[in-house]
Amino acid sequence: MSTATDDRREVTSFDADDHQRPSEPEWGTLRSRWRATLRYMRRNPSLPVGLALLSALILFSVIGGLLVDIGDTRVMSAPHSRAPADNLWFGSDRQGRDLFAVMVHGTWLTVRVGLIAGAVGIVFGASLGFIAGYFGGWIDNIVNWTVDVLLTVPAMLFLVVIATNVSTPTEPLSSTTMAIIIAALAWRRPTRQIRAQVLVMRTAGYVQTARISGASNLEIIFLEMIPNLLPYLVASFVTAVSAAVLASVGLEAMGLGPQNEPTLGQTIYWMIQSSAFMMGLWWWILPPIIALVILFVSLYLINVGIDELSNPRLRRKA
Amino acid sequence: MAGGLVVSDLAVHFPTERGVVRAVDGISFDVERGTRLGFVGESGSGKTTTALAIMRMIKAPGRIVAGSIRLDDADLVQMSDAEVRAIRLRRIAYIPQGAMNSLNPVLPIGRQIADGVIDHLGPQRDADLKALVAESLDRVGLAPTVAAMFPHELSGGMKQRVCIAIGIVLKPDVIVADEPTSALDVITQRRVMDTLGRVQEAIGASLILIGHDMGLMAQFVDELVVMKDGRIVERGAIRGVFQAPEHAYTKMLISSVPDITEGRSFLGTIPTPAEPKPATGAAPSPLVAFRNVSKVYGRDFFGRGGVHALRPLSFELDAGRSAIVSVVGQSGSGKTTLANILLGITRPTTGDVRFEGKSVAGLRGTAALAFRRGVQAIFQDPYGAFNPFYKVDHTLALPLRRFGIATSRRDIYVCMEHACDAVGLDPHLILGRYTHELSGGQRQRLQVARALMLNPKLIVADEPVSMVDASLRATILKSLYDLKARHGISIAYITHDLATAYHVSDYVIVLHHGHVAEAGTPRDVIGNPQHPYTQLLIDSIPWPDPDRHWGSRQSVEDDQRRLEEIAASHQTIVRSRIPGFDLDTAA
């Protein structure tokens, strides 16, 4: 037995592929771990920059929300069309809304619509994608066919039709309802993307190994497949959130949004309605646009960063 | 020496996080016009990097840090990108490894051949181009009509020959072929290599063949370079290297190629098989029984048409005796389908698979779990078999928990340690690590450990050594053999490699288009084949012996015709039977 073991060891020493594969720096002590993380962040700045921008935006909204009364976002809470001043930081619009209060509450409302619609879309889409891709057969055919058909229809058309039918003059739309309307279509793309990933992963060696290890279908999906899809799911979620924000702003700018809530898109609607451009009320025009730009750019950077983190082929080597 | 290539002190470095990897570390060699030079070495030895360096195709951040590559009087290393572009294809052609992925799926073959011509010689008249393409296709033995076809209409071997046609269309001085046949089976490999050799002689180019197969080298090249860790460890005329290898590494490479000769086993000393366990109880039902099992893919709604992956097959494998049954055949012969049916992953189209007397299709609950535990697998790709998200412990612990072998963390750990020990791995070096931290050989032996831990009755090993280096092949096959000899586990060894099947198996089944061509003991079937298909397979193996001929030109042409005749005949020759395994040919 001992001789057999010895020559095995000797043969193993011929393995040349060990030191060929470049790998991440050693993860030892807490300090070196920190340094490795910092080094990585310097190489891949999109993720930290994107997260910083997004947190800044949300912090502005959350901390501001503690200081500013929601009542100040209502019409006539301030003198109208005033430029920014000491007691009116962002000025006011033509109907006399305090624009600082509007920005504080509107930013969060808009982000919330995106989060709700994105979350519903990704959970529903991922479930359908997994069912279709993993089990296949006629379920797959039905899901695939439905998604294919729905993808050809312009989303805005659907949303406009639904929104106009849901909102009535006596009971205007709330931003939560609007988020759910948007979610009704947000699952299409995740379904298709995740189905494709599952189809590839289903034949992976470790899935087969789990199967012959006696794992059930649910175990294979939740313990073997989902962990490996996690970066992908997060990236899909971020994409879904930005798509949902875009859809909500679109609806609101057309005047189909929540009339009683000061979301960013709704602010843009009022500003168009009241000819803010012609009146030169720049303090009304700029803040919602800047907030939206920061939001979209941060979501984009986060997405690029996650992609780089999870896809070693894109990982730049220092 | 016009058209010769002289490489001196070439060094290629890849900077990584952990420091500089010297992929090629100061090597010198030269190829004279019209000769064939072979490069062998295992993965990571720097042979492919050398080939890419000659083409000036090293990807950043890697770069050529020193040395020269001289073609006539020009130094390729010093050339600008534009100058190198003019040299590529025109004077140095590259034939890539994966012909499957090297051709553009949306362009006809003729266009892809003509592309390079137009790029180098400028716009041509249509008639001239057509003639050039036809000539190039003719040189590789393909009809001119292939020019109008798309890659998906061609077989793997034809695609590889198209890649050769693209490479030689401008009659280069040097052809660099990087493992041109690694994805092909032996019969197709012999055809492609024959074509490549013929073309090279016809246009008088020199040829650099990169590979890991010592047998192929022995049959094909004039001079051999052995590389290890970025350096040349041995170099010489092919006959000399094989007759008197100097470096220990070369000796190891040569001895790791299994030979089909009596007496010398490349597995080294193998333990004598344990006495068959006396059958307990009254007449036990066979461990696994196939009754007219077949598989048809792509049938339409009414059950018509489709491709027969496996023709009706019946056999019985006894529970009392352990045996290694090899299933050999080319790709597409149905051997993997057979493996998946055995594992219960694929459902057969017709027939019934029985495990210990019970039909597998109807198993539920604990009986299904017993089947899962009883029939284990070792997969082809040791890297893919472990979930990259977890440490390897996860893959080992999962079946222990599912089959109720060990429940507490402590018991599970003890089981895992024993399993590692049993296959000669140090548990402290293996457990708690991620797959990418282990070498290919360690991963593959860990797969064996995983299967062994469950104490199965049958292990299905689907090409377990096709993706590991030659030096490891013997070690892993030896651990497989140990499973039978020491632990009394039967093994279905699925492979395309007849030589290894000869050494490890008790019984060999040769599959061809889903049909059993020949079956019997390895000494009969492989040592003295009777069926024309088996004979063809064995003739096509490149022997690691420059004096043993690979077959003549004429025979390669004839073989293709014979292959088609064989496919139509559906003849089965059963040479011999062994106790414990009963192949039923009546059906």
A204 touches chain B (CB under 8 A): yes
What pLDDT score does A12 carry? 35
Q: What is the mean pLDDT of residues B10-21?
A: 84
Nearest one of A191, A189, A183 to A112, comparing CA atoms: A183
Q: In the prediction, which pLDDT does B74 show? A: 86
Question: Containing H/E element for A315?
Answer: none
**Inter-chain touch A205–B21, beta carbons under 8 Å:** no
pLDDT digits (tens, 9 = 90+) for B257-288: 777 765 556 666 555 554 545 445 545 688 89
Structural domain including A233 reads 109-310
Q: Is residue A202 part of a domain?
A: yes
pLDDT of residue B551: 66
Chain A residues in contact with B23 by the CB 8 A cut-off are: 20
Q: Is the pLDDT higher at A15 or at B485?
A: B485
Per-residue model confidence as pLDDT tens digits over B515-572: 898 999 988 898 888 888 888 888 888 887 777 777 666 666 677 777 777 777 777 8
pLDDT above 60: residue B139: yes
Give A194-259 as a 3 state SS string.
Answer: HHHHHHHHHCCHHHHHHHHCCCCHHHHHHHHHHHHHHHHHHHHHHHHHHHHHHHHHHHHHCCCCCC
Mean pLDDT of A247-258: 89
- Interface contact A206-B387, CB threshold 8 A: yes
Q: Which of A210-214, B98-102, B129-133 has the lowest mean pLDDT?
A: B98-102
Question: What pLDDT is stored for residue A23 in this prediction?
Answer: 42
DSSP string, B418-470: HHHHHTT--HHHHTT-BGGGS-HHHHHHHHHHHHHHT--SEEEEESTTTTS-H
Q: Can you give the pLDDT at residue B99? A: 67
Q: Do A206 and B343 touch (CB under 8 A)?
A: no
Scanning B352-371 for CB atoms below 8 A from A yields 369
For chain A, give the mean pLDDT. Answer: 83
May I ask the CATH architecture of the domain B5-255? Answer: 3-Layer(aba) Sandwich (3.40)
pLDDT of residue A121: 94
Q: Residue B68 pLDDT > 60, yes or no?
A: yes
Cβ-Cβ contacts under 8 Å, A19 against chain B? 18, 21
**Nearest beta carbon to residue A228 from set B388, B437, B475:** B388
Which residues, numbered 256 to 275 in chain B, qualify as contacts with chain A under a Cβ-Cβ cut-off of 8 Å? 268
B440 contacts in chain A (CB < 8 Å):
15, 17
Asked whether the predicted pLDDT for residue A2 surpasses 90, the reply is: no
Q: Strand B5-16 to strand B581-584: parallel, antiparallel, or no bridges (unpaired)? A: unpaired
Number of domains in chain A: 1
Task: Return mean pLDDT, chain B.
Answer: 85
Please provide the DSSP assignment of B71-128 as one string.
ETTEEGGG--HHHHHHHBTTTEEEE-S-HHHHS-TTS-HHHHHHHHHHHHH----HHH
Sheet of strand B324-328: strand arrangement: B375-378, B458-462, B490-495, B324-328, B507-512, B515-520, B573-574
Residue A4 has pLDDT above 60, yes or no: no
Q: Kindly identify which residue of chain A lies nearest to residue B462, measuring between CA atoms.
A: A205
- Predicted confidence (pLDDT) at residue B470 exceeds the cutoff of 80: no
- Number of separate helices (H) and strands (E) present in chain B: 21, 22
Q: Is residue A63 part of a domain?
A: no
Question: For residue A302, what pLDDT is reported?
Answer: 92
Interface mutation target, options B12, B18, B376, B416, chain A, most CBs of A under 10 Å: B18
Confidence (pLDDT) at A24? 43
pLDDT at residue B573 above 60? Answer: yes
Domain boundaries, chain B: 5-255, 291-531+571-584
Percentage above 90 pLDDT, chain A: 43
pLDDT tens-digit series, residues B87-113: 888 899 999 877 667 889 899 999 999
* Residue A162 reports pLDDT greater than 90: no
Query: How many angstroms separate the CA atoms of B454 and B373, rounded?
Result: 7
Structure confidence at residue B486 (pLDDT): 83
pLDDT digits (tens, 9 = 90+) for B172-219: 999 999 888 877 788 888 888 888 998 899 989 999 999 888 888 988
Residue B75: burial class (beta carbons within 10 Å; 0-12, 13-18, 19+): middle
In a domain, A257, yes or no: yes
Q: Which residue from A223, A271, A248 is spatially nearest to A99, judged by alpha carbons?
A: A271
Residues of chain B numbered 391-450 and touching chain A (CB < 8 Å): 395, 398-399, 402-403, 424, 436-437, 439-442, 450
* B539 close to B551: Cβ distance less than 8 angstroms: yes
CB proximity under 8 Å: A 4-33 to B: 4-5, 7-9, 11-12, 14-25
> How much is the pLDDT for A193?
92
Instruction: Indicate the fold that domain B291-531+571-584 takes in CATH.
Output: Rossmann fold (3.40.50)
Which pair of structure tokens corresponds to residue B216?
């192929």
- pLDDT score at A6: 39
- From chain B, the residues in CB contact with A208 under 8 A are 345, 377, 379, 385
Assigned domain for A97 exists: no
Q: Nearest CA to CA, how far is A153 from chain B (Å)?
A: 29
In chain A, the residue whose alpha carbon lies closest to the alpha carbon of B23 is A20
Residue with the larger pLDDT of the pair A2 and B77: B77
Judge whether A291 lies within some domain. Answer: yes
User: So what's the pLDDT on residue A241?
Assistant: 95
pLDDT digits (tens, 9 = 90+) for B322-374: 889 999 988 778 888 899 999 988 889 888 999 988 888 888 888 888 999 99
Put simply, the answer to whether B441 touches A11 (Cβ < 8 Å) is yes
Number of C-beta neighbours around residue B246 at 10 A: 14
CATH code for position A131: 1.10.3720.10
Q: What pLDDT is attached to residue B413?
A: 92
Residue B555 has what pLDDT?
67
Asked if residue B419 lies in contact with residue B452, where contact means CB atoms within 8 angstroms, the answer is yes
Q: Do domains B5-255 and B291-531+571-584 have the same CATH topology?
A: yes
A173's CB contacts (< 8 A; 6+ apart) are A163, A166, A167, A256, A257, A258, A259
Whether ipTM tops 0.85, in short, is no
Residue A244 resides in a domain: yes
**Least confident stretch, A216-230, B73-87, B180-194, B218-232:** B180-194
Global confidence as pTM: 0.77
In a domain, A133, yes or no: yes
Q: Which residues pair with B490 in a beta bridge?
A: B458
Give the contacts of A9 (CB within 8 A, at least 6 positions apart). B424
CA–CA gap between residue A222 and residue A202 (Å, rounded): 13
Residue to mutate among A1, A7, A12, A223, with most B CBs inside 10 A, is A12
Say yes or no to pLDDT of A318 above 70.
no
- Does residue B42 have a pLDDT over 70? yes
C-alpha span between A238 and A306 (Å, rounded): 10
B332's tokens: 């597409």
Which residues in chain A touch residue B437, judged by CB atoms under 8 angstroms apart? 23
pLDDT at position A29, please? Answer: 60
pLDDT of residue A221: 93
**Rounded distance, CA B482 to CA B477, Å?**
9
| CA triple B308-B314-B320, angle to 5 deg | 140
The residue-averaged pLDDT of B467-494 equals 84
